[in-house]
Amino acid sequence: MSAPIVITNVSLYGDTPSDLVLVDGQIASLDAADAPADARTIDGSGLVALPGLVDLHTHLREPGREDAETIETGSRSAARGGFTAVHAMANTTPTADTAGVVELVASRGREVGLVDVYPVGAVTVGLNGTQLSEMGAMANSRAQVRVFSDDGKCVHDPLLMRRALEYVKTFDGVVAQHAQEPRLTEGSQMHEGLVSAELGLAGWPAVAEESIIARDVLLAEHVGSRVHICHLSTAGSVEIVRWAKSRGIQVTAEAMPHHLLLTDESARGYDPRFKVNPPLRTQEDVDALRAGLEDGTIDIVATDHAPHPDEDKDCEWGAAAFGMIGLETALGIVQKTMVDTGRLTWRDVARILSETPASIGRDEAHGRPLAVGEPANVTLVDPADAWTVEPAATDSRSNNSPFGGIELPGRAVATFLRGTPTYVDDRFTALTEGASA
Amino acid sequence: MKHLLGTDGLSREDAVLILDTAGQMAATQEREIRKLPTLRGRTVVNLFFEDSTRTRISFEAAAKRLSADVINFSAKGSSLSKGESLKDTALTLQAMGADAVVVRHWASGAAQRLAESGWLHGSVSVLNAGDGTHQHPTQALLDAFTMRRHLMGAAVGDDVTGKGLDGLTVALVGDILHSRVAGSNIALLRTLGANVVVVAPPTLLPYGLEERGEVAVHYTLDDALEAHDLDAIMMLRVQRERMTGGGSGFFPSPEEYTRLFGLDRARMDRLTDHAIILHPGPMNRGLEISAEAADSPRSVIVEQVSNGVAVRMAALYLLLSGEEASA
């Protein structure tokens, strides 16, 4: 257990200045005067305290692609980005479709100890889309899986999707759908639009996402289940989810930082760092996502952190892998696109990056209030510490960031998991010197 | 000009310079000794990740007639078929001292990536010989050269130096969506002042082409012949794999395609007297073009091939001779 820590004069949720006293893994007090004598003190002036961030959509690559990322390097990158919990997607090798694999991932996460790693279970065996995996076994394993997804692939068979939505009710689970109609996206390389036509790259039309979302919200309504939509990327998808919510359908949706900031224009240089699935869309879509996040249609921001080694990105576009890393840039991009534009407050950021993702994933120890007696999962943000993204300067094992050279207005400067600092900025190194963390 | 990657970034001035230079090159090809010493000691690598005997031979002939050393690197029986990456191939070519790389690749953007990724250092020039479904600039230039020669002088053989294709109306017929020939031609024709008419089933049109309003679009060849007095008509090759097999189903059957889009005798007779027929080859006789049309006096299809050598000589010359045109 880490030494007691006092953070003085920090702005909780960007509002009230307060102190935070972290003792024995809990928030012990909001008054520095209550701190134990041996507590280490840091000055929180100018900083915003948020409940530890929760990523509902992370690719940690282990087991199978440890050349791209490991649970250790991914956890380190997550902590640096302000996260205290991540949900590790199931498209590993072997696939996380059995209790054995999800327990392996969870236990490796515990050993590393930098973030709580919640394995996501595959909906279908081997992500093949033909047979349900043993979701009950994964739910009842020590990993206690609650989120199920074939992410990377769409559960496109409507009957199988219906069964999955029904079945996860057994253990209060949720199916997180990668909405991509496979026939409409065969060979697709980027958003289908004017830019793809000009570049001669096969298009990924918006309707391939929207048609699956429309189907799945109707299925969720029909069977009375909740459904979560991964990486919403189009204006039409926002409209469909808005309509579904107005009907009372239990749908939640996530947007990715890269879809809030970048457009298909980025593909013009054929640099595969901008190749991602679903693809970067148009400015109109970016604007719709921001509006959807502002009005609550989109519930959360998740990273879709997708590490790939150099050889899968330093090549021609058509040969390159889809995906980009994003754990360390997510918070800064949310601030840039949503907070500094006046669309969201820091209180809202706590909701979209911590409370709601924790609630969707049923992570009971995360997304809790910053209040006495609660787990000391805390992220300190310096909203005035502007920085320029350098892809090579990441804690991830891969450096396939599309944000190189972009200036972000702020970042996480310290992350605490149950009172233990898991990442601290240079200014706070006194916190970790001689500590057991 | 350092590289020739596409016609979309090519200025009118540079395009006309290439065509004029090609005219000079073509003139030298009528002499008894056709070989020029211009690129002696320079090395041109033909890097073909896709089979294309015609284009490769054309570039090879062009380089050899300029006295360059030519190295052919093609997919079959080489490291390229064993999964060697474009990057490693580029490093190898660099090490061998290539001055120019002529690249044909299945991936759109491969030539641009080769030119701009930093894999090749120094002064290697990249010529795009066809990248995926994106661009094939020397094909468009040789088509423009052929059209200019036939249509911009009072008679064939008149001096057309300095001219563009101003005022001509040119139709492209067929698979516009997947055709790099169409991609390069549409951009270059517009740069040179021609009116572009596109004829294709809606399934084979690029997204947004109609809305952009830069070209006239028709869904049948008869409609296009009704609406325009064409100076040139370019029939594009229909790829077998675009037909009904494999579920791609861009059109129902070859017969229906021929009925709606094929250039046969009756449609040929509706062309204006001076109109010429082009095809980038290889032709599917009886599918997109009938034998009567392909072999008619209007057809300049065989001439396109010889003009291809002259245009590629011009491109290699301008990129490698160190003459500074505008970038």
Same domain flag for B206 and B109: no
Residue B64 lies in a domain: yes
Same domain flag for B146 and B197: yes
Of A277-291, B89-103, B206-220, B297-311, minimum mean pLDDT range: B89-103
Residue A398 lies in a domain: no
Which CATH number fits the domain that encloses residue A292? 3.20.20.140
Identified catalytic residue from B56, B113, B134, B136: B136
Q: Is the pLDDT of residue B181 over 80?
A: yes
Same domain flag for B195 and B236: yes
CA B285, CA B299: separation in Å to the nearest integer? 13
Of A107-121, A297-311, A388-402, B70-84, minimum mean pLDDT range: B70-84
Same domain flag for A39 and A130: no
Q: How many CA atoms lie within 13 A of B15 on its CB side?
A: 30
Domain count, chain A: 2
Vertex A155 angle, CA A154 and A158, to 5°: 130
Contact A193 B208 (CB under 8 A): yes
Residue B201 lies in a domain: yes
Instruction: Find the mean pLDDT for residues A240-260.
Output: 98
Which CATH number fits the domain that encloses residue B125? 3.40.50.1370
**Residue B86's pLDDT is what?**
86
Instruction: Find the mean pLDDT for residues A385-397.
Output: 97
B107, B183, B207: residue with CB nearest A194: B207
Q: Is the pLDDT of residue A159 over 80?
A: yes
Strand B100-105 relative to strand B43-48: parallel, antiparallel, unpaired?
parallel
Residue B174 lies in a domain: yes
Contact by Cβ (8 Å): A377, A51: yes
Model confidence pLDDT, tens digit, residues B9-46: 899 999 999 999 999 999 998 888 889 999 999 999 99
Distance from CA of A321 to the nearest CA of B (A): 14
Would you tell me the crossing angle of helices B301-320 and B53-65 to the nearest 10 degrees?
Answer: 50
Instruction: Find the mean pLDDT for residues B61-83.
Output: 81
Nearest Cα residue to B101 out of B81, B131, B76, B79:
B131
Q: Any CB–CB contact under 8 A between B89 and chain A? A: no
Query: Could you tell me what percentage of chain A is helix, strand and coil, using 3-state DSSP and rounding each to the nearest 5?
Result: 35, 20, 45
CA B190, CA B215: separation in Å to the nearest integer? 9
Supply the range of the domain harboring residue B259: 137-304
Percent of chain A scored above 90 by pLDDT? 96
Q: Which of the pair, B87 or B166, is modelled with greater confidence? A: B166
Contact B207 A196 (CB under 8 A): yes
Which residues of chain B does A181 touch, with a Cβ-Cβ cutoff of 8 Å?
none
B110, B206, B247: residue with CB nearest A316: B110
Residue A292 lies in a domain: yes
Nearest Cα residue to B178 out of A198, A200, A205, A203:
A200
Looking at A168-297, list the stretches that DSSP marks H as alpha helix, in order from N- to C-terminal side: 194-199, 206-223, 235-246, 257-261, 283-295
Which residues of chain A does B179 touch, with a Cβ-Cβ cutoff of 8 Å?
none
Same domain flag for A104 and A243: yes
Q: Any CB–CB contact under 8 A between B107 and chain A? A: yes
Same domain flag for A41 and A151: no
Sign of the CA dihedral A105, A106, A111, A113?
positive
Chain A stretch 164-223, residues whose beta carbon is closer than 8 A to a beta carbon of chain B: 183, 189, 192-194, 196-203
**Residue A437's pLDDT is what?**
42
Contact by Cβ (8 Å): A421, A5: yes
Instruction: Determine the 3-state secondary structure of B297 from DSSP.
Output: coil
Q: In the block, which residue shows the tokens 């423009």?
A: B144
Structure tokens at A5: 């820590």
Structure tokens at B228: 């325009």
- DSSP assignments along B98-134, one per residue: -SEEEEEESSTTHHHHHHHSSSS-TT-EEEEEEETTT
Same domain flag for B245 and B291: yes
Q: Which of the pair, A232 or B323, is modelled with greater confidence? A: A232
Same domain flag for A318 and A412: no
Contact A199 B106 (CB under 8 A): no
Which residues of chain A does B104 touch, with a Cβ-Cβ cutoff of 8 Å?
none
At B82, the pLDDT band (50, 70, 90 cuts) reads: low
Distance from CA of A176 to the nearest CA of B (A): 29
- DSSP assignments along A121-147, one per residue: BPSBGGG-SSSB--HHHHHHSTT---E
Contact by Cβ (8 Å): A255, A331: no
Contact by Cβ (8 Å): B204, B224: no
Q: Is the pLDDT of residue A61 over 60?
A: yes
How many Cβ atoms are within 10 Å of A158's Cβ, its own excluded?
Answer: 13
Q: In the block, which residue shows the tokens 């749908």?
A: A251
Which residues of chain B does A317 touch, with a Cβ-Cβ cutoff of 8 Å?
107-109, 113
Same domain flag for A111 and A137: yes
At A2, the pLDDT band (50, 70, 90 cuts) reads: confident
**Sequence-separated contacts (24+) of B289-297 with Cβ below 8 Å:** B289/B235, B289/B262, B289/B263, B290/B262, B290/B263, B290/B264, B290/B265, B292/B264, B292/B265, B292/B268, B293/B235, B293/B263, B293/B264, B293/B265, B293/B267, B293/B268, B296/B268
- DSSP assignments along A339-351, one per residue: ITTTS--HHHHHI
Contact A270 B180 (CB under 8 A): no
B112, B207, B212: residue with CB nearest A270: B112
Instruction: Find the mean pLDDT for residues A104-123.
Output: 98
Q: Is the pLDDT of residue B187 over 90?
A: yes
**Residue B249's pLDDT is what?**
84
Q: Is the pLDDT of residue B109 over 80?
A: yes
Structure tokens at A137: 């076994």
CA A229, CA B314: separation in Å to the nearest integer? 55
At A179, the pLDDT band (50, 70, 90 cuts) reads: very high
Identified catalytic residue from B7, B21, B43, B55: B55
Instruction: Find the mean pLDDT for residues B173-201.
Output: 97
Distance from CA of B252 to the nearest CA of A (A): 18
Same domain flag for A242 and A210: yes
Nearest Cα residue to A112 out of A74, A146, A143, A55:
A74
Catalytic residue status for B89: no
Instruction: Find the mean pLDDT for residues A291-304.
Output: 98
Instruction: Determine the 3-state secondary structure of B217 from DSSP.
Output: strand
Distance from CA of B183 to the nearest CA of A (A): 8
Sign of the CA dihedral B169, B173, B177, B183?
negative
**Residue B327's pLDDT is what?**
37
Distance from CA of A257 to the nearest CA of B (A): 26
Would you tell me the crossing angle of helices B12-28 and B301-320 to the nearest 10 degrees?
Answer: 110
Domain count, chain B: 2
Mean of pLDDT over chain B: 91
**Residue A228's pLDDT is what?**
98
Instruction: Find the mean pLDDT for residues A210-223.
Output: 98
Would you tell me the crossing angle of helices A206-223 and A235-246 to the nearest 10 degrees?
Answer: 10
CA B3, CA B131: separation in Å to the nearest integer? 14
Same domain flag for A108 and A161: yes
Residue B325 lies in a domain: no
Same domain flag for B18 and B54: yes
Same domain flag for A338 and A289: yes
Same domain flag for B143 and B204: yes
**Residue B324's pLDDT is what?**
43
Same domain flag for B212 and B257: yes
Q: Is B77 exposed, middle or buried (0-12, 13-18, 19+ CB in 10 A)?
A: exposed
Instruction: Find the mean pLDDT for residues A424-436.
Output: 75
Sign of the CA dihedral B283, B244, A191, A149?
negative
Q: Any CB–CB contact under 8 A between B9 and chain A? A: no
- Give the strands of the sheet with B43-48, arranged side by side: B69-74, B43-48, B100-105, B125-131
Residue A399 lies in a domain: no
Distance from CA of A272 to the nearest CA of B (A): 10
Same domain flag for A324 and A275: yes
Which residues of chain A does B106 touch, with a Cβ-Cβ cutoff of 8 Å?
318
Same domain flag for A104 and A219: yes
Instruction: Determine the 3-state secondary structure of A31 from DSSP.
Output: coil
Distance from CA of A271 to the nearest CA of B (A): 7
**Residue A410's pLDDT is what?**
98
Same domain flag for A196 and A61: yes
B108, B116, B135: residue with CB nearest A317: B108
Same domain flag for B129 and B150: no
Of A68-72, B210-214, B270-274, minimum mean pLDDT range: B210-214
Contact A315 B85 (CB under 8 A): yes
Q: In the block, which residue shows the tokens 């109707």?
A: A218
**Residue B326's pLDDT is what?**
38
Same domain flag for B119 and B143: no
Contact B108 A311 (CB under 8 A): no
Contact A315 B86 (CB under 8 A): yes
Contact A197 B116 (CB under 8 A): no
Same domain flag for B300 and B310: no
Q: Is the pLDDT of residue B322 over 70?
A: no
Catalytic residue status for B43: no
Same domain flag for B240 and B279: yes
Which CATH number fits the domain that encloses residue A421? 2.30.40.10
Contact B108 A200 (CB under 8 A): yes
Chain A stretch 291-320, residues whose beta carbon is closer than 8 A to a beta carbon of chain B: 311, 314-319
Same domain flag for B152 and B285: yes
Vertex A318 angle, CA A317 and A320, to 5°: 65
**Residue B325's pLDDT is what?**
41
SS (H, E, C) B219-241: CCHHHHHHHCCCCEEEECCCCHH
Model confidence pLDDT, tens digit, residues B238-262: 987 666 555 568 988 889 999 999 9
Mean of pLDDT over chain A: 96
Catalytic residue status for A304: yes
Contact B108 A318 (CB under 8 A): yes
Q: Any CB–CB contact under 8 A between A321 and chain B? A: no
Which residues of chain A does B47 touch, with a Cβ-Cβ cutoff of 8 Å?
none
Supply the range of the domain harboring residue A17: 5-48+374-393+404-431
How far the first Cα of chain A sits from its last, in Å, is: 8
Identified catalytic residue from A304, A348, A363, A395: A304
Q: ipTM for the complex? A: 0.91
Same domain flag for A57 and A130: yes
